[in-house]
Structure 1
Amino acid sequence: MNRNSNAYTFIFAVIMVIVVASVLAFTATSLQPIQNENVRQEKMQNILHTVGIDVERSQAKENFDKYIIKELALDSKGKVKFEGEKAFQVDLSKELNKADTEQAFPLYIADVKGEEYYIIPLRGTGLWDAIWGYIALKNDVNTIKGVVFDHKGETTGLGGEITKAWFQQRFEDEKIFDSAGNLVGVSVVKGYGGGSNKDDNEVDAISGATITGDGVTRMISERLKHYLPYFKSKTDMKVAVK
Structure 2
Amino acid sequence: MHSNRYTFIYAAVISIITAVLLAFASEGLKPAQEANIALDNKSNILRSVRVEETERAAIEQIYGERVKSIVVNSRGEVLENVIAEDLVMKNEVTKPAAERHLPLYVYTDKNGKPYYIVPVRGVGLWGPIWGYISIESDFNTVYGAFFDHKSETPGLGAEIAEKPFQEQFRGKKIMTDDNRFISVNVVKKAAKVSYGDEHRVDAISGGTITSTGTDKMLKNCLEPYLGYFEKLQSQESK
Shorter-chain TM-score above 0.5: yes
Please identify runs of 4+ aligned residues in structure 1 that moved more than 6 A.
Answer: none
Structure 1 residues 179 and 238: CA distance shift in structure 2, 3 A? farther
Q: Structure 1 residue 208: deviation in Å?
A: 0.5
Q: Which amino acid aligns with 2:107?
A: A
SS in 2 for 1:218: helix
User: What do you get for the CA RMSD once the two structures are aligned?
Assistant: 2.2
Q: Structure 1 residue 57: deviation in Å?
A: 4.7
Structure 1 residues 80 and 133: CA distance shift in structure 2, 3 A? same
Instruction: Find 1:10's aligned residue among 3, 8, 11.
Output: 8
Structure 1 residues 57 and 104: CA distance shift in structure 2, 3 A? farther
Pairing of 1:51-130 with structure 2 (within 5 A): 51-59=49-57, 60-68=59-67, 70-82=68-80, 86-113=83-110, 114-130=112-128
SS in 1 for 2:174: coil
Q: Which runs of 5+ in 2 are unaligned?
A: none
Q: Which amino acid aligns with 1:61?
A: E
SS in 2 for 1:182: coil
* Percent of residue pairs bearing the same amino acid type: 38
In the alignment, the residues of structure 2 paired with residue 106 and residue 153 of structure 1 have an alpha-carbon distance, to the nearest angstrom, of: 25
TM-score by length of 2: 0.90
Q: Structure 1 residue 193: deviation in Å?
A: 7.9
SS in 1 for 2:24: helix
Q: Structure 1 residue 96: deviation in Å?
A: 2.5
Q: Which amino acid aligns with 1:126?
A: G
Q: Structure 1 residue 65: deviation in Å?
A: 1.0
Kept in 1, the 8 Å contact 2:73–2:225? The answer is no
Structure 1 residues 238 and 146: CA distance shift in structure 2, 3 A? farther
In the alignment, the residues of structure 1 paired with residue 81 and residue 55 of structure 2 have an alpha-carbon distance, to the nearest angstrom, of: 24
Q: Which amino acid aligns with 1:38?
A: N
Q: Structure 1 residue 76: deviation in Å?
A: 2.1
- Spell out, residue by residue over 1:12-34, the C-alpha distance to the aligned partner (whole angstroms, 9 max, x if none): 11111112111111111100000
Kept in 2, the 8 Å contact 1:174–1:201? The answer is yes
Aligned length: 233
TM-score by length of 1: 0.89
In the alignment, the residues of structure 2 paired with residue 157 and residue 234 of structure 1 have an alpha-carbon distance, to the nearest angstrom, of: 41
Q: Structure 1 residue 78: deviation in Å?
A: 1.0
Q: Structure 1 residue 87: deviation in Å?
A: 1.8
Structure 1 residues 28 and 8: CA distance shift in structure 2, 3 A? same
Q: Structure 1 residue 192: deviation in Å?
A: 4.4
Q: Which runs of 5+ in 1 are unaligned?
A: none
Kept in 2, the 8 Å contact 1:178–1:200? The answer is no
- Spell out, residue by residue over 1:61-90, the C-alpha distance to the aligned partner (whole angstroms, 9 max, x if none): 21111111x311111211001368x12221
Name the structure where helix makes up a greater proportion of residues: 2
